[in-house]
């Protein structure tokens, strides 16, 4: 019984954290949609945070929007 209670609590915590993350992500996407910007690169058309891609692909093209920086392109590529 004690073990089960612990597992339930752990799952509840994880769920609330992922809910919080999802809500945060959704807020950001809504803001970017209003601006018409790709949420991944903030409309720049490239991103610099993806270290692994740097070695394999063009580091200056945002993969989510094909480098256009447009929210519409991001939406098409990610939905």
Ranges of H-type helices in the chain:
2-35, 51-56, 71-78
In this structure, the chain runs to a length of: 79
Given the rule CB under 5 A, which of 9-17, 23-31, 49-57, 62-70 is the region that contacts Zn ion? 62-70
Given the rule CB under 5 A, which of 5-13, 16-24, 30-38, 52-60 is the region that contacts Zn ion? 30-38
Residue 32 as a binder of Zn ion (CB under 5 A): the answer is no
* Residue choice 65, 71, 76, 79 for contact with Zn ion (CB under 5 A): 65
In this structure, are residues 41 and 64 in contact, taking their beta carbons and an 8 Å threshold? yes
> Which position has the token pair 């950001």?
28
Contacts with Zn ion by CB under 5 A lie at 38, 40-41, 62, 64-65
């Amino acid at each position: 019984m004690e073990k089960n209670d612990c597992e339930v609590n752990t799952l509840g915590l994880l769920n609330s954290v992922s809910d919080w993350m999802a809500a945060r992500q959704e807020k950001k996407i809504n803001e970017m949609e209003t601006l018409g910007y790709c949420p991944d690169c903030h409309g720049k058309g490239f991103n610099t945070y993806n270290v692994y891609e740097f070695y394999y692909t063009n580091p200056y093209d945002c993969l989510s929007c094909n480098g256009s920086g447009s929210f519409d392109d991001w939406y098409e590529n990610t939905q």
